[in-house]
Chains A and B, each alone.
Chain A
Amino acid sequence: MEAHLTIAIYFIYVCLVLIGIGIALLFFMKIRHIRIQRKKEFYLQKHQDYFKFIQLHLNGVSALPLPPGSLTKLERRVIQEKSIEWIEQLKGDLREKLITLCQDAGFVQDDIKLLDSLFYGRRIAAAYRLGGMRSAEAVPRLLSMMEQEKYSALTIVLARAISKSAERGDQLKEMLHHLLRHGKPIHNMAADIIMETRLDASRILVKLLEDENSDFVKVALAAMWGQAIPEVVPALDRLVVAEEKDVRAEAVKLYLSSNPVLKDETIRDLMSDSDWEVRATVAKSLGTMHAAGSIPLLRTALQDANWWVRNNSAESLALLGETGFEVLCQIAKHGSGVEREIALYHIERTMLQDGDHQKLDQMVAYNKKKLLYERYFGVSESTKVRQVAAVGGDYTA
């Protein structure tokens, strides 16, 4: 018992000491933080005129100077942070001028020196700022840092810094290699990172699409969303029939979004693809393509095992004029199970959506559909709210 008691008493002492240290540390950190915060605010106020000067003369021809007078370390940091904020928001010549300012003011040099710091925290902070300043000079160093990193959230910080700063396409490729070597399927993230580049993105994407590394291809496909790049269409043509499922699905989606002319045969093949994403995408695009022969295909697809395929098919049918709409009505009336569900939903949606039609042709189209609707379901205008019973399981969406 005595021995236990002695241990317990020692434990109490240790606790007391640790608590004391903890409290002291807490107050120290809090007060220091508040002090720095106040000083930063003061400097921001002090240099308000200078910041206005910079923003007014970004257009000018001459290089931007630092404010007159000597600057403290913290003052320089405040100015640097403000510049980085502008760099992040702007593009074009004005951004280049700010980048030059950071270069001339020595901010870049300071941070490159910090990359050698013993403290990991300082190194990563410096890397982040160098990315903010788009420092091409720092890229080789950053790449080697990334090579040594284990995968964590901070790998992405480094990757972004490199992507922002890189001046050559191969640097971007090397960055991607380091980012993806951990085997995580982070293609969307990588695509977002790669699109931060200052270089001509379309050329890089074309190169990535032609790469034999399928990860690079996936990144490029993801990155191309929302970018209309005509140069990539030939590469897409090849990828539409790619072996790998994900690649094929993405490629088909992109390919269809460029509104190509498809042969009936191709459509049929795609609609019976083993991957539901492909089928769903094709079903969706059929609604706007007005290809003959798509209606029977969509009709069959209403029974697809996947919800998205069914949903997109019904949506497309509703878009395909009276004939398409009538198919929906027929199924809603005479069909059963899942296909009836989806058809009903889209019929009601169409009737609701087309309610306010401003243009004449829209009104004509709507009235035709309405006529069909009434023929199948009667004139009752009071919307029936159907109850959905929880029966059956549908695990596809």
Chain B
Amino acid sequence: MTVNIIYFSIMAFSFRNIMTIFRRAAFSKFNTLSGSELVPSISLLVPAYNEELTVIENVKCLMTLNYPTYEVIVINDGSSDDTLEVLRNEFGLEPLPNPEMRNSIDCQPVNAVYYNPQYPHLYVIDKPNGGKADSLNAGINLSHYPLISSIDADSLLEKDALIRMARMYMENPEETVAIGGDVRIANGCHIENGAVKEVSLPRKMWPMFQAVEYLKAFLGGRIGWSSINGLIIVSGAFGLFRKDYVIAVGGYRGGYPGEDMNIIIKLHRYMLENKLKYRIAFCPEAVCWTQAPDSYRILSNQRKRWGRGNLKNMIENYDMAFKPKYKVMGLLTMPYNIIFEALNPYFKITGLLALIGYTVIDMTHWRILLVFGLVNILSGYLLSIGALLLEELAFKRFNKVSDLARMMLYSALKFFGYAQLGGLWRIQGHIQYLRNNNSWGTMTRQSWKSDNGNTKSA
């Protein structure tokens, strides 16, 4: 019951903010900002591990953003495929003698930095494999600008995404330490010249479930959490950070997945412990399109990894929970995440088992089982409908009635199978964590070039 109350109040916060978001998106033009010297410069950090298929397309897309001054730093994290070679060939990159690495944060030594004066805003770092966090740290050490933005190499940014975020940053530059962007599923969309031309829903089942799931998490959840400054994660796929604070908290933590959540928790902790006024914001109008895993195996690996990272972060930071010193973070976000996110599957299973046991013993109580099942499903569905409403109010990105109907259908189907699987994967992730299994799992990419992004199976 409590979990539902929290969900609904977060959703209520989202609704309270959605019209402001719609208006600021609709009534702000960037034509003056997008060419202005007054906009802060940004270093885009793109960690790439075995991305030879997609990396060129992505770098090209990143180099045509609507933004005055920025640089793109691709970090090749010891790929075993030809990621570095395809980059070098495409952009004619040469190793930079004596590259200037700042060494503000510890990271593995790099092999070389590649550069071509013809593409003055592109750098490629080549380093031995050390994980995503280590790559990001290396990128920070090379970066020349005060803001950094981490972007997954399998994501496409919308042309205006960065300037929208920067506008949000400029509205309150001193207090903003991080801004998260909205991540949407690109499977099924028509992609041309590194930009999403036609928005449409994925055709396959797994990406479709994820599409509704992301919509609910980002619009229903994060808008609300950010309005009370209790955001616990800025998606690793697309986030903007102030470099000075990232350095102050020691950069990204390596070794475990979930470095995106970890950095945010560390930022919260740092700012609160030093009693600095701050905000970690969410900018839903800045959109990043990502390729969702479209097969059971890859998806389950991804989710297990998330479960593992999540548990690690919770164990490392459980001391923040229930401490008034940490304000919203300590009183609401951390307890919520520990109890309802990390441990949720266990509650569900035990609860279900108890109910079933109870009913089996006494068959007359089948009604109770039914009622509680319904409460669970209906309240969840109501939240999904709420998220769809938010989307419709502010963004209207899907423009077919049939898409709407499909999303409603899948939001409902989610409760029969997919949601349970999600719980299962999370538990498996926890088991992996306890067994100290820390592998990356496979994440096979497909080339963006295929029209619908999901013709090849992994």
* Chains A and B in contact, CB within 8 Å: yes
| Residue ID in chain A nearest B168 by CB atoms | A153
Docked Cα-Cα span, A387 to B170, in Å, equals 37
Contact of B170 among A11, A189, A342 (CB under 8 A): A189
Asked if B396 CB lies within 8 Å of chain A CBs, one says yes
Q: How far is the CA of A192 from the CA of B171 in the complex (A)?
A: 12
Docked Cα-Cα span, A348 to B112, in Å, equals 14
Query: A16–B408 Cα gap in the complex (Å)?
Result: 14
Mark interface residues in A5-48 (1 if CB within 8 Å of B CB, else 0). Answer: 10011011001101100110111011101100100000000000
Query: Which residue in chain B gives the minimum CB-CB distance to A89?
Result: B31
- How many pairs of residues, A versus B, come closer than 8 Å at their CB atoms? 176
Residues of A within 8 A of B439 (CB): none
Query: Does B173 have its Cβ within 8 Å of any Cβ on chain A?
Result: yes
- A residues less than 8 Å from B404 (CB atoms): 26-27, 30
Q: B97, A121: Cβ atoms under 8 Å?
A: no
Q: Which residues of chain A come closer than 8 Å to B117, judged between CB atoms?
A: 352-353
A196 CA / B36 CA spacing, docked (Å): 12
Q: B24–A154 contact, CB under 8 A?
A: yes
- Asked whether any CB of chain B lies closer than 8 Å to the CB of A390, the reply is yes
Cβ-closest chain B residue relative to A131: B27
* B20/A388 in contact, CB under 8 A: no
Question: How far in angstroms is the closest Cβ of chain A from B40?
Answer: 8
Complex CA–CA separation, A383 to B113 (angstroms): 13
Does the CB pair B107–A390 fall under 8 Å? Answer: yes
**Known A-B contacts A11-B375, A22-B382, A390-B106; A225 and B97 likewise in contact (beta carbons under 8 Å):** no
Q: Does B420 contact A (CB under 8 A)?
A: no
Interface residues on A, range: 35 or more
Q: State the CA gap A78–B100 with chains docked (Å).
A: 54
Interface residues of B in 22-49 (CB under 8 A from A): 23-24, 26-29, 31-33, 36-40
A25 and B108 in contact, given A154-B23, A225-B38 (Cβ under 8 angstroms): no
Q: What 1/0 mask marks residues of chain A from 345 to 356 whose CB sits below 8 Å from any chain B CB?
A: 101100111000
The residue in chain A whose Cβ has the minimal distance to the Cβ of B398 is: A30
B388–A225 touching, CB < 8 Å: no
Number of interface residues of B (CB under 8 A): 67
Q: Digitize B354-369: 1 where CB-to-A-CB distance is under 8 Å, 0 elsewhere.
A: 0000000000000110
Report how far A18 CA is from B382 CA in the complex, Å. 7
Contact of A394 among B103, B110, B174 (CB under 8 A): B103
B19 x A156 contact (CB < 8 A) = no
Contact among A12, A189, A345, A351 for B100, CB-based, below 8 A: A345
Asked if A325 is at the interface of the complex by the 8 Å CB criterion, the answer is: no
Given A186-B173, A391-B103, A192:B110 Cβ within 8 A: no
- Complex contact B174–A393 (CB within 8 A): no
Segment 378-427 of B: residues with Cβ below 8 Å from A: 378-379, 381-382, 385-386, 388-389, 392-393, 396, 399, 401, 404, 408
Give 28 A-B contacts (CB < 8 Å), ordered by A residue.
A9-B371, A11-B375, A12-B375, A15-B379, A22-B385, A29-B393, A88-B31, A124-B27, A125-B26, A125-B27, A128-B27, A184-B174, A186-B170, A188-B40, A189-B38, A189-B170, A195-B32, A222-B38, A225-B38, A307-B102, A341-B100, A342-B100, A344-B98, A352-B96, A353-B117, A385-B112, A388-B101, A390-B106
